[in-house]
Amino acid sequence: MIPYSGLLFFYVLFILLIPAIFLGINGKSLKKYGVIANIAALILIFGNSKKQITLLMLFYIGELILVKFYLIIRRRYEQRWILWIMVVCSLIPLILDKWGNILLINRQLGFLGISYLTFKVIQMLLEIYDELITEVGILNFTYFLLFFPTISSGPIDRSRRFQEDINKVLSKEEYLVYLREGIWKLSTGIAYKFIIGVLISNYWMNKIPTAHTLLNTLNYMYAYSFYLFFDFAGYSLMAIGTSYILGVATPENFNMPFISKDIKDFWNRWHMSLSFWFRDFLYTRFVMAALKKKWFKSRFTASYIGYFITMGTMGIWHGTQAFYLLYGIYHALLIITTDYIERKSKWYKKAKKNEAWSLLFIFVTFNLVCFGFLIFSGYLFKK
């Protein structure tokens, strides 16, 4: 069963959250009950497929062993190449899921949420290398990795932040703030996904003729862009709202992305947990390594190559089709162009502070973003 997809899930979710609300209002720890509720929810989500739950458990056991093993190794050896071996090992299940058909292996080796779970593990490995994580408890690791509200599509949390939340005992007053926020986000997410998203899908996107004319393509571009936002933002809000009710302040994933003034601003507002993950654990690390080892003469060259690597990887992460990679490259070019204009044009910096010009920048950015979503949708590649 896919989370937040039907009445049965919401019914069970309501039942599971009642004890959490009772404990929270009485100022009790939510951690132990949260673990129990998590197990029950995972059984509901994966219980109908022996294959899915088997693959999930094999993934969990393998990644737990990997993290614990690297924690021991890191205390004695600092070599970076050991870290990269660990990272590659953590990626093997995801590689087999996405590219198993190319490797002549049965493609159906993945399970719901494998991409987001893999990102969590990689984050922990990198922070173990940085010595930001020095201990990994089995219970905390399990709860973090398999946290059911965000298991299928994020948002992607950070392990140290998550651990602080689950080990904190909220007062009644603090929990009531979490509860109100959680109910609001959960309700808003339901409205986004099941009302606005469905209306856009049924009465706009699905009504567009299949013929690939310019008018139909533009119509589909805007319809798909709004549908994608309300569907995904709705899911994210429901995941965050559920997390809050369980006492976990899962990070926000969207912040009014369609009012962005440029493409950099957009990626600070759209799918923020994924965007910030790639920024922190891929782009920044690549650029810092390039500058330290002097791979390039110019720091801007390092930065721009970093953008191509980061956005290209983000594109490939979505799928193996060529249009996903093209989507990533398209955004890399937009970010590089924006960065170049910011550096070279004093007028641009001043104009961004002007209200009239800002509206023009928002309009241009919105259309550039929508064209990117058109590429992402695969519509242009359909016959």
262 in Cβ contact with 365 (< 8 Å):
yes
Contact 372, 324 (CB under 8 A): no
**Residue 125: closest CA among 161, 167, 73:** 73
Say if residue 1 is exposed, middle or buried (CB neighbours under 10 Å; 0-12, 13-18, 19+): middle
The CA distances from residue 1 to 35, 65, 98, 107, 151, in Å, are 19, 28, 21, 20, 12
Q: Which residues are catalytic?
A: 318
80-110 core/surface letters (b: 16 or more CB in 10 A; e: else): eeebeebbebbeebbebbbebeeeeeeeebb
Phi, psi of 255 (to 5 degrees): -140, 75
- SS3 call for 27: coil
